[in-house]
């Protein structure tokens, strides 16, 4: 079960200040924040041939995929400390196992993209072979991906396809980034392994501040503002 990432007081203050905007391009958290823990999915801004192209594919593991998305994770400080995993399958690991999104087994949370849009209500919704609510089309900065496809190595149900990543086949399974129906497994002929495509990444669960805590923080900020204002006026007299 993925560990919760609880907001620290400083992070909660950042959420209060940057609730609907971000210093990082078009990246946005859900606004308003959900009342329950949630997760964030994105597609990496850079592509790679490592998951599929020989000879790198022969030693490629799910840990390599996880490291790739971790290296490209959203840099927003409100998400510091999260664990990021690839929505990808290798011959030994299914995507839904790697991301702890197995329906009926893993704890389930709503999933949002990096524009704050709801993608899926939970694990079953993610792997139900039905259209997502919104596509995973935005990268770690909240920008629309410049790629048309993402390596997944997966079937629509989150299991490894007949051409998983790292199996070194002539072609590997990919998903259509702009699609809400074929995001994990495209119906088009898979591209050559020498092509460079990104990976999908998914965060560990993000806990939200308790309302009382958030209220106290806002109150504290207002009080701090009053003290600073008083000291400034005193300095001017």
Q: What is the pLDDT of residues 120-139, one digit of tens each?
A: 999 999 999 889 999 999 99
Identify which of 153-157, 192-196, 231-235 has the greatest average pLDDT. Answer: 153-157
Tell me the CA distances in angstroms from 81 to 1, 15, 26, 180, 203, one per residue in order: 16, 15, 21, 29, 10
Domain holding 66, by residue range, is 25-207
- pLDDT band at 71; cut points 50, 70, 90: very high
Report yes or no on 224 lying in a domain: no
For residue 218, is pLDDT > 60?
Answer: no
Report yes or no on 7 lying in a domain.
Answer: no
pLDDT exceeds 80 at position 188: no
Number of domains, the chain: 1
Q: At what angle do helices 9-17 and 211-236 cross, to 10 degrees?
A: 80
5 lies in some domain = no
Mean pLDDT for the stretch of residues 150-164? 93
Q: Has residue 166 been placed in a domain?
A: yes
Q: Look up the pTM and report it.
A: 0.79
């Amino acid at each position: 079960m993925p560990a919760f990432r609880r907001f620290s007081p400083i992070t909660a203050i950042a959420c209060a200040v940057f609730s609907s905007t971000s210093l990082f391009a078009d990246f946005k958290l859900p606004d308003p924040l959900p009342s329950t823990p949630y997760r964030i999915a994105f597609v990496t801004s850079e592509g790679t041939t490592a998951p599929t192209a020989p000879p790198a594919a022969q030693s490629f593991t799910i840990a390599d995929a996880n490291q790739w998305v971790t290296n490209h994770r959203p840099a927003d400080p409100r998400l510091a400390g999260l664990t990021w995993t690839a929505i990808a399958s290798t011959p030994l690991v299914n995507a839904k196992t790697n991301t702890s999104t197995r329906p009926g087994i893993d704890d389930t949370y709503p999933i949002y993209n990096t524009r704050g849009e709801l993608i899926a209500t939970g694990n079953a919704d993610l792997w139900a072979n039905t259209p997502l609510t919104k596509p995973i089309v935005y990268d770690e900065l909240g920008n629309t991906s410049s790629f048309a496809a993402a390596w997944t190595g997966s079937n629509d149900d989150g299991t490894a396809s007949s051409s998983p990543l790292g199996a070194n086949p002539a072609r590997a399974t990919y998903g259509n980034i702009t699609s809400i129906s074929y995001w994990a497994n495209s119906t088009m002929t898979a591209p050559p392994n020498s092509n460079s495509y990104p990976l999908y990444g998914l965060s560990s669960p993000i806990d939200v501040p308790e309302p009382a805590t958030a209220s106290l923080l806002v109150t504290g900020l207002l009080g701090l503002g009053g003290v600073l204002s008083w000291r400034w006026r005193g300095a001017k007299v």
